[in-house]
Amino acid sequence: MESSVREWRDTSGAAQAPWREAPHFDDAGWEDAFAGDWNPSTGASEAMDARVQGGRETFFTRLRSFVRYLRIVLLIGVAAGAAWIGSRHVAVDNAVPPTSSPTSEATSDAAQAAGANADNGATVQVDVHGDVRHPGLVTLQEGARVRDAIRAAGGFRRDGDAADVNQAALVWDGEEIDIPAATSENTAPETQASGQMGTVAWTAGNPSEGVASRASSGGMSASQSGGASRARKHAVPAGQKININTADLETLETLPGVGPKRAAAIIAYRQAHGPFSDLDSLRHVKGIGEKTLAKWQDLIVFVPPGNASTAGHPGP
Amino acid sequence: MSRTRLHACAIIAFLASEWSRYVWGWRAAGTAAAVAMALALVGFVWCRDRRLLLVVAASLATGVVAGSVWAAWRPAHPAVPPGARDVIAGEVQSVKETHGRKEIMLAVRGEGEDAHPCHYEALVFVERGPHVDAGQWVEADGTFVASNRVPTAMDILSPLELFDGRVRVLHRAASVGERVTSFMASGMEDGAQEENREFVQLALSMIFGDAQGNLPQNVSADFLAAGVTHLLVASGSNVGFALDMAAIPWHHLFGRARMRKKRLAYGAYALGVIWGFALICGFQLAVLRAACGATYSVAAGMCGRRVSGYTVLWSSAGMAGVLDPADLLTPSMLLSFYAAFAVCEADSLWRRTTADRAERSNDRRTFSASAVRRVGASLVRAFLVTAVVDAYMVPVLWWMFRQWTPYGALSTAILEPTIELLMPLIVLWGLTAGVAHALPWPPIAWCAQVLSRLGCASMFAVVWFVHRVASWHGSLRSLAPASFASACALVFALVAVAHVRMPRRHG
């Protein structure tokens, strides 16, 4: 809940960027404060002026005049470089499972809101592939939708692709989004995973709407046929349940809506507070809400570690 | 010490003492005054100018008095401690729904059963209740919640109270601005086809801003990703545009204001236009600041003086501080001030870079430069200046929003002049549609229809372009968290790059 303030200030247009300002001014009076009696000047400009006065404006002189633009280029480069490094850090941070204290993850709603001014929205990473221009990992703000993920991946390759995708669905960290190619017959794209897999754990929106979007964890892969890419996926096999108190990172990732970050958060909370007793106790883990729990209620069990027969792997 | 510097020092001292007294009380005001006086003393030792000490001391005293008056009139904090029941009322800034719970950002303007005046922002958590939209007035009944987190820099600059309770919508008469814009919108929507109605809101947002959040989510998301959200917010250039539009009939009727009396009359007319426009925009913070700056410029013009951009910036800060100290350091206001500073910096840097070349090429240009070349040069200039402004904006947007839009400079350089060209068309569209709505005379209706088609087509082109840019790979990048200190360090680095020069070589 804390994330709210910055996020709104972030996403609501009014607070976002009122920075187109009156650009009329006549002299650089403020600069006088810096200049003082120092009377600065660039050596390059002096050299250039001397040559111009002498009427010998050569190619090199003109070239030198462009050196003045170096300051502008440098300024833009410093800012862009810093931002680029900052964006790289986000990617690296997301790639590494978080090791933060679980107590900080499970702060109360009110406390979260209080810190919203600083904590302006976590990011999520989503793997987008299929019929998009630049398939691959994209980083989005938490609360982003499938539409944002597709746009971050360069947009649809063909305009017809948009017709089959529920772009309004929310995305989860670690999710895999596969954009099926629009077929000439305009048939609904195939979204189910291969053969022996059980029910699709979760899709962004409605499976029939064409986006196969699942939490991936390695292991089984979906079939690929007809030129249209399919989602590689892992899901809890039909009829089997995961023991949330013993499941490891990979197993947790098979739950719908769970990526590496959320799986790590569950484990960290479990290590700090002991086993989960019921569905409600999972609410304390950051990012898990009612909707998520509703999807999990038939997929997880709460067996204390001592009584578990398998080390968290799906059991009957 | 020059008057410009004294002017800046006086305003900084006034704002520091007023804001700290009003928002954080006597102790903060004392600390701010002590630090300001210490700095003034250092300045006095450096430049041996007694006026600095006097000006700073007077400004500090005035600021403390102003802050105390504000604190007594409209307290900047709740009257009750956390846990005690209270009733607050105010205007909804934005609404977010998470986990079935609404989080309402409220600009609180009344507190208690008697609704005594106050001025602060609260985040209201509501389990269930009526549907609430931005711009509505609501009353919340519940308790303030204490926060157990260490306050961040933004928490100190712009305090936010937490409130848990229920809300009910208050029915208030629409403001003048809302009535004007809704009249224009209804007229424009009547003339537009069903599928083009979203373009009406977009067009109006470019003139008056989208404070109510009427734009479709996908359009605002595209503008955000393309780095041109500022085009949907009323700000300084909108005030300038309103002045330009208002100057046209004046010049036709009375000619240019060269005589003193005419200058005074035109100044009064311009001030009316500025504050009328601010009223229609609902006194959004960016417009308020820009109106303050424009007022100072117009007042200087009435006295036959010209003022620099930086002076206007300082003055607008001072006036905004007098009019609304509680919102002085809110994110919107901070962005507005900083953006104005970035524009001043970018223009100054560009003029220093090209001053000599412009002088040398003045004669040549009349003979050889073609129109295409001039257009190309102005586009390059627009791009470079916008890129510098964007570079200056990076630290602040990083710290506040953790976002970066690498293509923002490009899209702004293309869209900003385009939209400036479109603004007269939008105004004409709105006026004819309004007249046709009220007076359905066939020639007017026909004009409104033609303008509506033109307007919708141009808005479609803008939306198409923005969507293309937003779809480019990595158009909206998330950044790692940045502290206030690191953002300041980056700003200083950029200022250093822009201003540090090699000393002159003698001999």
pLDDT by residue (tens digit) across B130-150? 888 888 899 999 988 887 777
Strands A136-141 and A242-243: unpaired
The pLDDT value given to residue A37 = 36
Residue A127 lies in a domain: yes
Above 50 in pLDDT, residue A110? no
pLDDT at A112: 37
Interface contact flag, B2 A6, Cβ < 8 Å: no
Mean pLDDT across the stretch A236-250? 72
How many CB atoms within 10 Å of residue B166? 15
pLDDT at A223 over 90: no
Cross-chain Cβ contact B353/A140 below 8 Å = no
Question: Can you give the pLDDT at residue A117?
Answer: 39
When scoring B98, B128, B149, B244 by the number of chain A Cβ atoms within 10 A, the one with the most, hence best to mutate, is: B149
pLDDT at A198 over 60: no
A21/B336 CB distance under 8 A: yes
Residues B422, B457: contact at Cβ < 8 Å?
Answer: no
Q: Which of 260-299 (A) contact B at CB < 8 A?
A: 289-291
Which among B164, B233, B348 has CB closest to A17? B233
Residues B45 and B164 in one domain: no
Last residue of a domain, one of B144, B170, B196: B170
| pLDDT greater at residue B307 or residue A10 | B307
Q: Give yes or no: residues B14 and B160 share one domain.
A: no
Most confident listed range (A78-82, A177-181, B81-85, B370-374): A78-82
Count contacts between A and B (CB, < 8 Å).
Answer: 346
Shortest Cα–Cα distance, A13 to chain B (Å): 7
Q: How far is the alpha carbon of B443 from chain A, nearest alpha carbon, in Å? A: 37
Tokens in use for B257?
């204001």
Chain A CB contacts of B505 below 8 Å:
43, 46
Contact B419, B425 (CB under 8 A): no
With respect to residue B270, please indicate whether it lies within any of the assigned structural domains: no
Chain B closest-CA separation from residue A308 CA (Å): 32
Q: Which residues are B96's β-sheet partners?
A: B103
Residue B23: Cβ within 10 Å count: 25
Domain identity same for B361 and B494: yes
Q: Which chain A residues are closer than 8 Å to B300 by Cβ?
A: none
Interface test with B, best of A2, A25, A62, A284 (most B CBs within 10 A): A25
- Chain B within 8 Å of A121 (Cβ-Cβ)? yes
Q: Is there a single domain that holds both residue B364 and residue B506? A: yes
Cβ-based contacts of B339 with chain A (< 8 Å)? 17-21
Q: What is the pLDDT of residue B140?
A: 92
pLDDT band at A98 (very low <50, low <70, confident <90, very high): very low
CA angle B329, B331, B332 (to 5 degrees): 100
Contact (CB, 8 A) for B107 and B124: no
Nearest CA in chain B to A53: B360
> If you average pLDDT over every residue of chain A, what do you get?
58
Q: Does residue A184 fall inside a structural domain?
A: yes
Profile chain B (507 residues) by mean pLDDT over runs of 10 residues: 84 93 92 93 86 91 94 91 88 80 89 89 86 86 82 86 89 82 83 80 87 77 87 86 87 78 88 92 87 90 83 88 88 88 88 65 54 78 87 91 87 87 89 84 87 91 91 83 90 89 57
Determine the Cα–Cα distance for residues B51 and A312; give it in Å rounded to an integer.
76
Q: Please report which confidence band the pLDDT of residue A204 belongs to, taking 50, 70 and 90 as the band edges.
A: very low
Question: B166 and B22, same structural domain?
Answer: no
Q: Report whether pLDDT(A162) > 80.
A: no
Q: Do A110 and B164 touch (CB under 8 A)?
A: yes
In this structure, the answer to whether residues B17 and B126 fall within a common structural domain is no
- Tell me, yes or no, whether A147 lies in a domain: yes
* pLDDT of the residue at B356: 58
- Out of B145, B170, B195, pick the residue that ends a domain: B170
Q: Whats the size of chain B, residue-wise?
A: 507
Interface test with A, best of B101, B311, B364, B401 (most A CBs within 10 A): B401
Instruction: Sort out which chain B residues have CB atoms less than 8 A from A5's CB and list them.
Output: 105, 123, 160
Stretch 22-81 of chain B: residues touching chain A, C-beta under 8 Å: none
Put simply, the chain A residues between 100 and 119 with a CB less than 8 A from any chain B CB are: 107-111, 113-119
Of A9, A72, A90, the CB nearest to B331: A9
Together in a domain, B18 and B156: no
**Per-residue model confidence (pLDDT) at position A63:** 63
Minimum-distance CB partner of A83 among B215, B338, B398: B398
| pLDDT class of A123 with cuts at 50, 70, 90 | low
Domain boundary among B155, B170, B185: B170
pLDDT number for residue A289: 74
Classify residue A102: in a domain, yes or no: no
The answer to whether residue A85 sits within a structural domain is: no
Distance from CA of A194 to the nearest CA of B (A): 31
Q: Which of A1, A20, A62, A84 to mutate to test the interface with B (most CBs of B within 10 A)?
A: A20
| Longest distance between any two alpha carbons in chain B, whole Å | 79
Best CA proximity match to B387, nearest among B342, B354, B357, B429: B342
- The answer to whether A253 and A173 are in contact (CB under 8 A) is no
Q: Does B57 share its domain with B101?
A: no
Residue B498 lies in a domain: yes
Contacts of B332 in chain A (CB under 8 A): 9, 14-15, 18
Report yes or no on A55 lying in a domain: no
Nearest to B221 among A9, A117, A148 (CB): A148
Looking at residue A160, what is its pLDDT? 65
State whether B53 and B117 are in the same domain. Answer: no
Name the band, by pLDDT with cuts 50, 70 and 90, for residue A232. Answer: very low
Mean pLDDT, to the nearest integer, of A183-188? 40
Whole-number Å distance between alpha carbons of A194 and A230 = 9
Q: Which residues of B touch A80 (CB under 8 A)?
A: 391, 394, 406
Residue, of A146 and A208, whose pLDDT is higher: A146
pLDDT recorded at residue B502: 62
pLDDT at A308 over 50: no
- Domain encompassing residue B52: 3-71
Q: How many domains does chain A have?
A: 1
Instruction: Write down the pLDDT at residue B89.
Output: 93
- Per-residue pLDDT band for A188 (boundaries 50, 70, 90) equals very low
pLDDT number for residue B69:
94
Across the interface, do B335 and A19 touch by the CB < 8 Å criterion? yes
CA atoms within 13 A on the CB side of B365: 12
- What confidence tens digit (pLDDT) does each residue in A16-25 have? 444 444 433 3
Q: Is residue B212 part of a domain?
A: no
**pLDDT attached to residue A263:** 80
Tell me, yes or no, if B219 comes closer than 8 A to chain A by beta carbon: no
Query: Which residue range is the domain that position A153 belongs to?
Result: 121-215
Cβ–Cβ of A114/B154 closer than 8 Å?
A: no
Same structural domain, B390 and B485: yes
Task: Judge whether A28 lies within some domain.
Answer: no
Same domain, B114 and B28: no
Instruction: For residue B142, give the H/E element and its range.
Output: strand B137-145
Instruction: Give the ipTM of the model, two decimals please.
Output: 0.81
pLDDT band, very low/low/confident/very high, at A182 (cuts 50, 70, 90): low
Closest CA to B210 of B134, B275, B273, B136: B134
Q: What is the mean pLDDT of residues A86-98?
A: 57
Q: A76 and B388: CB-CB below 8 Å?
A: yes
Comparing alpha-carbon positions, the chain A residue that sits nearest to B350 is A72
Does the pLDDT at position A73 exceed 60?
yes
Per-residue model confidence (pLDDT) at position A306: 59
pLDDT at A144 over 80: no
pLDDT for the residue A28: 36
- Would you say residue A132 lies in a domain? yes
- CATH number, residue B166: 2.40.50.320
B340 occurs within a structural domain: yes
**Are residue B37 and residue B164 in the same domain, yes or no?**
no
Confidence of residue A67 (pLDDT cuts 50, 70, 90): low
Tell me how close the Cα of A61 comes to any Cα of chain B, in angstroms.
Answer: 12
For residue B364 the two structure tokens come to 């040549």
Number of structural domains, chain B?
3
Cross-chain CB nearest to B96 (options A8, A74, A133): A8
The residues pairing with A177 across neighbouring beta strands, listed in sequence order, are A128, A213
Q: Residue B233 falls within a domain, yes or no?
A: no
